[in-house]
Structure 1
């Protein structure tokens, strides 16, 4: 069952298996690269960021730092529980002051405190396919020349 309530990270992150069945703590670079970075990512560094809200309550959750076909990285003021399932609404800037809403259900894979800012970063994988999300990624990914 998914939830949208913010939860502090009170327990150590779960283990995942890296190459050669060596355990890594979820949230380490080795574990992240195996689980999350299977796809090219789009990184957002401009002011018109994609804001994220809880789909059920409408509460702000943070903003998207990068996107890929398999998930996203969220920057937030509060950490979310690793292994938690969340229903999110992405508010994608379009023309003018308008936004397009893309609803997704995701699982939190890892979380860490950002040492440079007073915020947390969390990595999420898609829990269910989303046509709107797939279309968004297709529109944002640079077109390759063949």
Structure 2
């Protein structure tokens, strides 16, 4: 019997940096991600109910940096247990196909899969 596990959220701190798309300044790092939204870990609290223009810079296999631009609305923001860090939850407004592909790729990468028996 083959069992496939499903992970709802993926812990990604300090791997995927989020930038303000307008200013190109870093906003923080993705703490976890789903198709519906993300959690941002930042040095400053985020304004709740505000919409942000965000950008992810993803290194490609071709050596080029690819941008994933999207809008997200901050649903909540609170101080993290780590002093000087804040966690903020964002819902995405019409996530682009590139974001959906990234979430699917991360889900596949971080999923537990049974080892294939070799014959």
Range into which the TM-score falls when normalised by the shorter chain: 0.7 to 0.9
2:9 aligned to which of 24, 41, 44: 41
Give the whole-Å Cα distance in 2 for the aligned partners of 1:42 and 1:94.
20
Q: 1:120 aligns with which of 83, 86, 92?
A: 86
Q: Distance in 2 between matches of 1:132 and 1:86?
A: 18
Are positions 1:83 and 2:49 aligned together? yes
Deviation at 1:102, TM superposition (A): 1.1
Distance change (3 Å), C-alpha of 1:42 and 1:94:
farther
Displaced runs of 4+ in structure 1, greater than 4 A?
A: 93-98
Unaligned runs of 5+ in 2: 1-6, 114-119
Give the deviation of 1:95 after TM superposition. Answer: 4.9
TM-score by length of 2: 0.76
RMSD between aligned alpha carbons?
Answer: 2.3
Q: Does the residue aligned with 1:133 lie in a helix, a strand or coil?
A: helix
TM-score, with structure 1 as normaliser: 0.63
Q: Aligned pair 1:55/2:21, yes or no?
A: yes
Q: 1:98 to 1:51 in 2, by over 3 A?
A: farther
Larger Rg: 2
| Aligned pairs for 1:63-142 within 5 A | 63-95=29-61, 99-142=65-108
Higher RCO, 1 or 2 (CA under 8 Å, sep at least 6)?
Answer: 2
